[in-house]
């Protein structure tokens, strides 16, 4: 089981670093590259650089609030 946990940990670390590198290049370096350069075809338009993280944050916050609300409702029913 320890080997499987290490593999999952390595995979998640690699995935996180890949996303971080892609996003950093997209947001910080790409605006300084000429618009007709071939590298621009590998990235979404700049508007999505803000829209995607904000949407993900709102979705996570909503799911977290729903989860906490359900846990509070269940614990209230157990006391009664």
Q: How far from chain centre, in Å, is Cα 18?
A: 11
Q: Are 31 and 46 in contact (CB under 8 A)?
A: yes
Report pLDDT for 19.
93
pLDDT tens digit sequence for 9-43 = 999 999 999 999 999 999 999 999 998 999 999 99
Is the pTM higher than 0.85? The answer reads no
């Amino acid at each position: 089981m320890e080997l499987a946990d290490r593999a999952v940990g390595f995979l998640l670390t690699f995935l996180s670093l890949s996303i971080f590198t892609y996003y950093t290049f997209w947001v910080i370096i790409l605006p300084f590259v000429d618009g007709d350069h071939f590298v621009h075809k590998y990235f979404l338009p700049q508007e999505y650089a803000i829209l995607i993280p904000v949407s993900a944050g709102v979705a996570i916050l909503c799911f977290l609030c729903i989860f906490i609300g359900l846990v509070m409702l269940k614990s209230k029913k157990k006391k009664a």
